[in-house]
Amino acid sequence: MADEREDLTEAGTGEPVDIEVDLEESATDLDEEGEEVDPVRFWESRQRELVVSVLNYNLGTLSDLIHSSKIDLSPRYQRRARWDQKRQSALIESFLMNVPVPSVFLNEDDYGKYSVIDGKQRLTAVHNFLRGRLRLNGLKVFSELNGSTVEEIPTPLRNAIETRAALQAIIILRQSDKDVKFEVFKRLNTGGVRLNPQEIRNSTWAGPFNNLVLELSEERAFHDLLNIQRRDRSLIWREMRDAEFVLRYFTFRDTWDTFSGGMQRHMDEFMARRQYADAAVLEEMRQDFLATVSNVQAAFGEHAFQRWVPSSGQWRRQVLAALFDAQMFACRGQEREVLLEKREPILSGMQELFRDAEFLASVDAATNTPSLFKRRITRVRDLIGEQVG
């Protein structure tokens, strides 16, 4: 929806991502002594590594399990909730029509406790509706229910949804190999809505550094800079762009002077290197990021990461990744009180930069080249330096 797209625009970030996931081993691999693995023995070993149970749950039970935290909808490797109100409503209508709905996949983390591998969006929609958080919208067959919550639909229909409608759950039991759930997650998520680059990183390089990225991406002060007021209405949040911004900052904080192009690849490589960073390193990164976010707020206020449009004399609310780079770098290590005192001349200086053709070229389309990347950072850094002395 247009009013939800308060998102960044940058060349390369909106392209569809094809995912190719290979097994870590195959039936034609060589064993440690260089001999070919017997395909039958390999197949038998794989059967033992994945142990599943299949259960049918009515929707009321599933919602209760989610409410009591026995089903975790948001394990670290999962994407965030993406479905809007209309798409969630369409799923509820499917249950009312007895239309078959695909199975969900759960991982048994402990006895009687599960996390979602595949089916997060479906389970979230069911839970939102049965807990009164979803008002039906866009129904075609049951159009008379549009605008209704679960408490407002006729009792027979409510009972049918809660107790008669069911979802099949395929459960990967805890005795399965510990890495199987990640492999299953990646394979199941190659269909449907494709994973974007940050969602792939979130599932592929889970670990202490990824946990820090997710933690910092949820900071209220950071959401304010990105203009995320309601997470469920923010495309930035739903697609984990806020987490990608955090990763982007750390990646170029440490490597900006050696950047040679290809931002997504650059971030992938940094994520892999930092996956298991030790606690002291992570704490330094946390404090640095929070201090820099505070400095950006002091310097730019509500206009952080926004373009000035001279022809209209207004700031455009859209967040620009190119300005994120420049302003975060420029404000890092500065005195917050001085930046706050100098906000007015800093904003005036940014307006002047947007009248400069070379600077405009560095933040417009195709800004991923090393020369343009360094130009925009240098120009904003010089502006801040002139103001704070």
pLDDT tens digits, one per residue of 200-225: 888 778 789 999 999 999 999 999 99
Q: Which of 248, 247, 228 is nearest to 238 (CA)?
A: 228
Measured CA distances, 233 to 3, 5, 93, 237 (Å): 9, 9, 22, 8
Report the b/e string of 52-63 with b at 16+ CB within 10 A.
eeeeebebbebb
Q: Are 223 and 241 in contact (CB under 8 A)?
A: no
Is the pLDDT higher at 237 or at 382? 382
Q: Which of 321, 21, 79, 20 is nearest to 199 (CA)?
A: 79
Which range, of 3-17, 217-231, 239-253, 374-388, averages the lowest pLDDT? Answer: 3-17
Confidence band, pLDDT 50/70/90 cuts, at residue 366? low
Residue 293 confidence (pLDDT) above 60:
yes
Q: How far apart are CA 31 and CA 23, in angstroms?
A: 15
What does the angle CA 301 – CA 321 – CA 78 come to, to the nearest 5 degrees? 105
Q: Are 157 and 96 in contact (CB under 8 A)?
A: yes
Look up residue 281 and give its two tokens.
């390193």
Residue 253 confidence (pLDDT) above 60:
yes
pTM to 2 decimals? 0.63
Q: What are the helix (H) ranges across 51-102?
A: 59-67, 85-96
Confidence band, pLDDT 50/70/90 cuts, at residue 378? very high
Confidence band, pLDDT 50/70/90 cuts, at residue 79? confident
Compute and round to an integer the Cα radius of gyration of the chain.
24
Q: Are 336 and 294 in contact (CB under 8 A)?
A: yes
Confidence band, pLDDT 50/70/90 cuts, at residue 281? very high
With tokens 């946390």, the residue in question is 286
Q: What is the dihedral sign for C-alpha 257, 258, 263, 267?
A: negative
Q: How far apart are CA 231 and CA 238, in angstroms?
A: 7
Share of the chain above pLDDT 90, in %: 57
How many other C-beta atoms lie within 10 A of the C-beta of residue 175?
A: 10
Q: How far apart are CA 135 and CA 89, in angstroms?
A: 8
Cα 372–chain centre separation:
27
